[in-house]
Structures are given as C-alpha cells and as structure tokens.
Structure 1
Amino acid sequence: MEIKQWYEGEKPWIIAGPCSAETEEQMMETVEGLVNQGITTIRAGIWKPRTRPNSFEGVGKKAFPWIKKAKEIFKVQFAIEVASAQHVEMALENDIDILWVGARTTVNPFNVQEIADALKNATDKTVFVKNPINPDLNLWIGALERFHQAGITKLGAIHRGFSTYQESIYRNIPLWQIPIDLKSRYPELLLICDPSHIAGKRDLLFEIAQKAMNLRYDGLIIESHRDPAAAWSDAAQQLTPANLRVLLDKLQIRDLTFPSEKFQNELDHFRDEIDETDKELLEVLARRLELVKKVGTYKKDKNVAIFQLERWNTILQNRPEWGNQLNLNPEFVKTLYQAIHDESIRIQTDIYHEGE
C-alpha cells in the first residue's frame, strides 16, 4: 500500500462537532459556535451504531437538509460515519465531504469491502478508518488497504482507543504503540486522534490531546455540543465550542525539526549511549535465553511439563517489584516479562519437538 501526502491544510487538523445530529436548531447553533472558534471541519453522527437496542441511534437521513443548510451558511466541510453501502450512497447524494468508518465496522472485512466498493466511483472523497475495537493492527491495516485498492487517495486513520475488560480510567484504552506502529509503516498516512472516545470524560480530554500532539499526530477529532449536559448521546465527553477553544489554545504543538546544530549534536550523543546500552541489553537477554534452552533440555530429559504455573506466578510477582526499586514502571516490567515468557515457551516447545 503506497500512501501519498494529500492534505495541504494547517496542522493539526481540527475536526469537531456533536456526537449526534439531534435537531436542526442544535446543529445550526453548534456549527455557528464552532465556526466562531475558527473550526471549519464539522463532524456529526447521523447513524449511531449502539451497543444495545433502545438507545438513541441517530436521526438518519432526516439530518441531511440540516447539514446542507449549515454548509451553505457557514462554508464548512462535513464528516459523517457510514456503516453500509446504503449509507455511502446517501452521503454521496448529499455531498458529504468526509466519510469515516467506525470501530465496530472496521472489525468486519465484509462490511468494509462493501463500503469500499460503494466508493469506487467517488475517489475524490476523503475517507477515514477508525481502529477496530479490538487491538489488532493487521485488521486496521487491512481495512485501509481495501479503500486504497478501491482508488481512495485521500485516506486517513483515526485512533479512538480499544475496548477492554480491564479496569481503566479511560472509556477505551489508548494502546499508543499500535497507532505508532501504523504510522511507522505508513509515514505519509494522515493519523488523527479521537480524544473523546478514548477519554469518555471531559476532564481527560486535554491529557489525551496533548499526548497525541507529543507523538506528532496530524490532527484531532473532538466532540463538541452547544449544551453537552443535554446531549442525546455521549454527554460526558463533549465540550462546548468555547471550552473546546480553551483546550486547543492550551495545547503545545511540538516542532517536527531540530532547533539547532547544538541540539542535534547533543541528541546524537544521547542516542549513541542508548545504542550501546541496547547492545548490552540484548547480550544479557541472549544469555537468559541460553539458560532457558538448558532448562528446557533438562525438563525434557526428566519428562517434566514445559509450563510451570508456580514459577510463572513468582516471576509475575517479584520482577515488577524489582523493577519498581529501580524506578521502572511495574506494568512495563510485567509486559516485558510476558514477552520474554512467550519466547521462552516457544524455545522450550521447539526443544520438545526435536527428534519427533
């Protein structure tokens, strides 16, 4: 997949608007408020895929005349979510500028292909693909590839976080490494962060938005409503246009280039030290895995099972504690040892299969 740069506007690109288009009055007042704050790309949900029935699922095609009126009066672009070929057809008939595929749709390649096929005659449209609800980078890339093969050149990705059963302060945990890996593979791909759906709460929006700017995201898509407390959906995570402006003004936009030769030289010095440390780290890791091979051979000779739960529980308990004493994040240490353990199991499994 060859992605080319296509967005020539100012970065970060700010897309904002209500979670849902509710009434004509709500739409017009919210859009006017956003335009007054300098925002000219508006988002609004027309069809709302909800987890459970009997929730507000959007007003549907009823909203298109409101959008048309807002575009004519305020000279804005509009973005909506589409989840079927029929949605695409209606969006194109009503001159919607930007279409995005939601997280629940991205998980289903059949649905994605149906939408991509419907867009083959509308290759001038901008299409964003949200990450799937489960943390699967290949599924996200696969969805992007389907639109790329359909001839969509104005293609971007939206990071909205991932669903999880584990306790979290976030509505959807960010798992920042996944979008970073996506951007690393496709540097020209426009990457937008959705702090609203990651945070789920207004008081966490700035933290998420700033982290995205620190990581060189190309823009933000944030929910904004004239009266968030009265919103028909996602009331807890929306901001008024004025409060959105306050958040945006607080953001620190990081430089993409180095400020001076002195800075570059100092940075190179630190990186050289990191490189040497990484070599030492890999040497230590190689020694550890050599010991794992010896353990595997010994267990095979004595007809002992590979996986020893008591030993693994001991490692899970004391390694994070050791790391904490060295000012290392215990969760990071736990994740590191999970990867080491997976490789150890693989090595010992290969030893058990030798000679079979």
Structure 2
Amino acid sequence: MKHSLDILPLSSWIDTGDKPLVIAGPCSAETEEQVVSTAHLLANTGKVHVLRAGIWKPRTRPGEFEGIGSVGLEWLKRAKAETGLPTATEVATAKHVEEALAAGVDVLWIGARSTANPFTVQEIADALQGVDVPVIVKNPVNPDLSLWIGALERVNRAGIKKLAAIHRGFSSFEKTAFRNEPMWDIAIQLKTIAPELPIINDPSHICGNRELLPYISQKALDMDMQGLIIESHIDPAVAWTDAKQQLTPGALADMLSNIAVRQAESNNPAFEDKLSELRQNIDKLDNDIIKMIGDRMKIAEKIGEYKRDNNVTILQVNRWDEIVQKRVQLAKALNIGEDFAVKYLELLHNESIRKQNEVMNSKTIAEA
C-alpha cells in the first residue's frame, strides 16, 4: 500500500551537488569552544553539508547529562555565522521547536523516543503549523513501521513539505555487534510505500562504535539512501555522551573519502539488457519456488488428515528439530545465511501448522 506524502525533493532544501547529504557534528553541545571548533574542522573538510548538535538530550535514566539546554543554541548560531554551515538539532517539545526556530536553526529532527509517542509527535507538529523548515523523523525505538509512517504523516499534515526520514536502527533483546539492529527490511518497506521520501541513515546509533561506521555507511548508500547523519567530536575520548561512536572531523573526512557513491540507475543499454535478463531468471525462479511451496502445503494438509485420523498432535518437536538441523546444514553448504534459513523454515513451519490445524479442526468447527 502506497502512502501519499505531499513533500518536496531533498534538492529543494539542501544543495549537495551529486553527493549524498552529510549531516555531522557532536552528539551533544558541551561547550561553546567544542561546538565552534568542531564546526570549523567539519567545514574545512568540504564534505559536510549541515552541522548537527544535540541541545536537549532525552536520556534513558535520570542523572545522566541531558543536554546543555537553550544556551547551546547561541553556540550553534555562532558556528553557523563563522562557517556558513546550516545547523540542525533535535526537538522533543513545542517549546524546543519555538526556541530552535527563534535561534535560526535550519533543520529540526524528531528523535526515536519521540517518534514512538503520537502525543509528542502531534505536539511538535502543532508547533510547526505555518513554518517552512526541513524536518527529519527518526524511526521509533521499536520496529514499528506504522508508528514511523504515522509520525511522518502528522508532520506532513502540519504543512511541512521539506520532510525526510532517519533510519537509526531498532532496539533488540538479542545482543549483537550493533547498538541498534539495522533491520534493513523495515527501511526498505518505508522506501517501497513512500518512494518519494528521502531516507537518511544514522550509522552512529546503529553501530554504537566507530569501528563499524564505514561498513554501515557504505551499505546504507548502496541501499539507495540519500545521506548520512554522523556524530563527530573534536575529541571523542572526552565526549560527555556516546564517546565510543563519535569520530574526529579528520577521521570522518577519511571515511567519507573511502565510501563509494553508486548511481541508482545506469544509462548503459548493455547493462540494462543484461540486468533485465538476470531479473527474468529471478522471476522464473520465484514463480517456481511459490509453486513448490504450494505443493509442500498440499502435502502438509495430507499429513494433517493422517494425524487427525490417527489422533496425533500437530506439533512434534523432534521432527521440527531434525528439519532445522538438516536444512540449515544444506543452506550453509550453499552459502545461504543461517539466520535467513532459520527464518524461512519458521515461516514454512508456521504455515504448515496453520494448514494442518485447519484440516484437523474443520470437522469440529462444522459440527459446532
């Protein structure tokens, strides 16, 4: 289902030439010297389009540094005057919006915690009525595409047409190499249902450490995202917040220099012909796979009938364990990721159980 957002293209509110948008700056504005010095170093790289800094910081627990507050807006104003870089900061209340706009902040973003709360998003949207300012909306903390889309729609309905999304990953109970799981499929779903919406990746919050930043940044651009928002600090070792995921401006410039920027489309007819041929092969295989799954489900129905007639339960754990072990082994041999193989098998198993349940209980339901 397509979602219609009344928005302007990214190029209408920021000129990046033929490069992806890069928003960079410290996680938190700490001191005037830190903000201004970092801004100068970022501007000198020639690779940064917008200076970012957190003025108000929603923290998980009380007692942590929650932002320098409104005084930091004056530091952003000075940094903008001296470097020419537009500025961006996070807003979480109507008061934040009013103060940021009064201080001349050029771009506002709505954080993950705020996106998760429709009341908060609506309060921010109401404060944006009649204002012409770019707003970028982070995905909610949890993997909920509807919440993300709902926040974008609320802001758009307030009259904001310079609108973009930020993909910053999602909380997960599983401990992995990432601070927040990328869950690229959710960002792809958003791109699919709102193709006109620019999506900017936040590798800092996905990674949680600077070592993984190049990998995630490259993957984001390869996924046709329109830019990056990255945390950069003049001296990350002494940063008051998120020290491990911040880069020095110099290190950021080096990373950006080594990232390949690829085109969304090719003008080479030979390439297009070959791609079309390969896609036709994919289409045929997809059709074959769907037909084979249909055949598999017919067998599952027969198994359901046999179990029903012999008064045997649907779920048999030993058999399921055997399937997973053997199929995952085969998947590994074919260079198919184990996570994908397990998820695929779980989907097949759930549908098979649903089919067997229908068969085993159809008579009971009919009699009822």
Q: TM-score range by the shorter chain?
A: over 0.9
- Matched residues in 2 for 1:162 and 1:59: separation? 26
Query: Shift in Å at residue 190 of structure 1?
Result: 0.8
Match of 1:92 in 2: 101
CA contact (8 A) 1:160 1:174 kept: yes
Q: Report the identity percentage.
A: 48
Query: Are residue 43 (structure 1) and residue 52 (structure 2) matched?
Result: yes
| Partner amino acid, structure 2, of 1:314 | E
Decide which of 223, 240, 248 is 1:240's aligned counterpart.
248
- Matched residues in 2 for 1:63 and 1:224: separation? 17
Decide whether aligned partners of structure 1 residues 341 and 246 sit closer, same or farther in structure 2, where only a CA change above 3 A counts. Answer: same
Query: Shift in Å at residue 97 of structure 1?
Result: 1.2
Decide whether aligned partners of structure 1 residues 349 and 264 sit closer, same or farther in structure 2, where only a CA change above 3 A counts. Answer: same
CA contact (8 A) 2:232 2:246 kept: yes
CA contact (8 A) 2:7 2:156 kept: no
Match of 1:58 in 2: 67
Q: Any idea what SS the aligned residue of 1:327 has?
A: coil
Query: Shift in Å at residue 259 of structure 1?
Result: 4.2
Q: Report the count of equivalent residues.
A: 355
Decide which of 241, 261, 267 is 2:275's aligned counterpart.
267
Query: Shift in Å at residue 3 of structure 1?
Result: 4.1
- Matched residues in 1 for 2:275 and 2:35: separation? 49
- Matched residues in 2 for 1:58 and 1:232: separation? 9
- Matched residues in 1 for 2:270 and 2:79: separation? 50
- Matched residues in 2 for 1:113 and 1:303: separation? 55
Write the mapping of 1:215-254 to structure 2, written as runs, cut at 5 A.
Answer: 215-254=223-262
Query: Shift in Å at residue 54 of structure 1?
Result: 1.5
CA contact (8 A) 2:8 2:163 kept: no
CA contact (8 A) 1:173 1:198 kept: yes
Query: Are residue 75 (structure 1) and residue 79 (structure 2) matched?
Result: no
- Matched residues in 2 for 1:340 and 1:324: separation? 18
CA contact (8 A) 1:48 1:57 kept: yes
**More moved, 264-273 vs 220-229:** 264-273
CA contact (8 A) 1:34 1:40 kept: no
Query: Are residue 334 (structure 1) and residue 337 (structure 2) matched?
Result: no
CA contact (8 A) 1:42 1:79 kept: yes
CA contact (8 A) 2:233 2:246 kept: yes
CA contact (8 A) 1:292 1:344 kept: yes
Q: Any idea what SS the aligned residue of 1:60 has?
A: coil
Decide which of 12, 18, 24 is 2:20's aligned counterpart.
12
| Partner amino acid, structure 1, of 2:260 | Q
Write the mapping of 1:303-314 to structure 2, written as runs, cut at 5 A.
Answer: 303-314=311-322
- Matched residues in 1 for 2:95 and 2:123: separation? 10
Query: Are residue 101 (structure 1) and residue 110 (structure 2) matched?
Result: yes
Structure 2 residues not aligned, in runs of 5+ = none
- Matched residues in 2 for 1:115 and 1:198: separation? 25
- Matched residues in 1 for 2:256 and 2:299: separation? 53
Query: Shift in Å at residue 112 of structure 1?
Result: 1.2
Query: Shift in Å at residue 131 of structure 1?
Result: 0.8
- Matched residues in 2 for 1:35 and 1:281: separation? 52
- Matched residues in 1 for 2:49 and 2:282: separation? 43
Structure 1 residues not aligned, in runs of 5+ = none
Q: Any idea what SS the aligned residue of 2:10 has?
A: coil
- Matched residues in 1 for 2:72 and 2:234: separation? 17
Match of 2:206 in 1: 198
| Partner amino acid, structure 2, of 1:81 | E
CA contact (8 A) 1:79 1:98 kept: yes
1:63-118, Cα deviation, whole Å (9 max, x unpaired): 11111111222222111111122222222222211111111111111211111111
Write the mapping of 1:129-140 to structure 2, written as runs, cut at 5 A.
Answer: 129-140=137-148
- Matched residues in 2 for 1:249 and 1:332: separation? 33
Match of 2:353 in 1: 345
CA contact (8 A) 2:21 2:227 kept: yes
